[in-house]
Amino acid sequence: MCIGQVGNLLPHVTLSANLAQHLMPAWGLSAAEGGLMASGYAFGYMLAVPLLTTLTDRIDARLVLLWGSIASGLATVAFGIFAQGFWSGAAIWSLAGLGFAGAYMPGLKALTDRLPAGDTSRAVTLYTSSFSVGVGLSFLAAQLIADRWGWRTAFVVTGLGPVAMVVACLFLLREQQPAPKAGRLLNFVPVFANREALGYIFGYGAHCFELYGIRTWLVGFWTFVVARQSAPSWLTPVLLSFCFAVISMPASILGNEAALKFGRHRAITVVMLASACVAIIIGFNASAPAWVVALLLMIYGLTVPADSGALTAGMSAAAVSEHRGATLALHSTVGFGLSALGAWGTGVALDAAGGPQSARGWLLVFIVLAAGILLGPLALLWARMARWEKQPS
């Protein structure tokens, strides 16, 4: 399942990896338009995930995963062949996100449905942290292929990645499904009544805002840095973005281990506060020597994802078993809804403060990212207060 997910993620940042260097110049896009087009992926995901993930409470999640993976791959290939500008690009990329809505959380549901009863925290964290390996390979493949054969070829080739998950689906054991449940399919009332799960869900939204915002503009930011400061020839946007993504996997695993040892709320809160601080430091040092900025970005590459596995594992543990699909759906809806806002909002901030060639523009981008992640500890505190209120005085 983890290998299949890496294949499913091969298209994931193909647009972001080529946005600043290829698509914006070719189509004459502003940063706000580029960010909005990139957010189309998250927007399509957000629209489809409530239906597709809650559907896994009724049918085997493997079927949703299979067709979602196929749709995601076909849409990515279609972008490379048919996209001609902002509107067509945004529309097709939204379809790719819609397909991925059937591939990520339904994949997690297909996995947890087949695990033995008990604590699944480490299995969930391994699955979610393998996300980072897929994103790293997506950055790497998308840029290398685009530099050699053009950005359209990059979309076509990365669009073949989901074939790996299709193969994984064919080898998954069939789930023994219980009798179909009565009631409405999109019934989130029980999820909204679960305040502990909601705290993790809203915290995950803050995490996604920061994560998608930096992934959208990482290549553009590093291009700005090397244009102003001399950097080693080997320290290219390709290598930097790949390393930034890949170190997320051990960071997420270690973050979950810290949550198991020191307490989930405490560990997540510390990570989020640290991430906000690093973002502010990067923003104020955007014009520093390239090696300093690269070091700060690697630290940021550790803090940004370190809360991801702990948040998703906490949500999964807090979910009521008969409503786990609906809980996963809301988790993803909030997460990718704020992902879309993060990509677009940072693009607006960049334009407002001088554009991609301005140090002030990048400072405002990182201030926006820091403000977004600081909402996470507030969400966890709100959820924890509910537990305190239930305790007898």
For 317-333, the pLDDT digits (tens) are 888 877 777 888 888 88
Angle (CA) 275-278-283 rounded to 5° is 125
Angle of helix 86-101 versus helix 31-54 axis, rounded to 10: 30
Query: What average pLDDT does the structure give for the chain?
Result: 88
Is residue 119's pLDDT more than 60? no
Quick check: is 142 in a domain? yes
Residue 333 is predicted with a pLDDT of: 86
Residue 250 is predicted with a pLDDT of: 85
Q: What percent of the chain has pLDDT over 70?
A: 93
Assigned token pair, 262: 């020191």
Quick check: is 31 in a domain? yes
Residue 131 is predicted with a pLDDT of: 82
Contacts of 62 (CB under 8 A, 6+ apart): 110, 169, 172, 174, 175
Quick check: is 193 in a domain? yes
Count of domains for the chain = 1
Quick check: is 257 in a domain? yes
Quick check: is 78 in a domain? yes
Which CATH number covers residue 315? 1.20.1250.20
- Mean pLDDT score, 147-171: 94
The boundaries of the domain holding residue 273 are 2-173+188-390
- Separation of alpha carbons 200 and 206, rounded Å: 10
Quick check: is 338 in a domain? yes
Is residue 42's pLDDT more than 50? yes
Quick check: is 326 in a domain? yes
Is residue 231's pLDDT more than 70? yes
* DSSP assignment letter at 320: -
Nearest to 99 by CA among 128, 133, 132, 65: 65
Model confidence at 2, in pLDDT bands (50, 70, 90)? confident
Selected residue with higher pLDDT from 66 and 332:
66
- Separation of alpha carbons 275 and 305, rounded Å: 9
Selected residue with higher pLDDT from 187 and 117:
187
Is residue 193's pLDDT more than 60? yes
- Maximum mean pLDDT: which of 4-8, 33-37, 276-280: 276-280
Whole-model pTM: value is 0.81
Quick check: is 216 in a domain? yes
Model confidence at 316, in pLDDT bands (50, 70, 90)? confident
Angstrom CA distances, 317 to 206, 266, 321, stand at 19, 17, 9
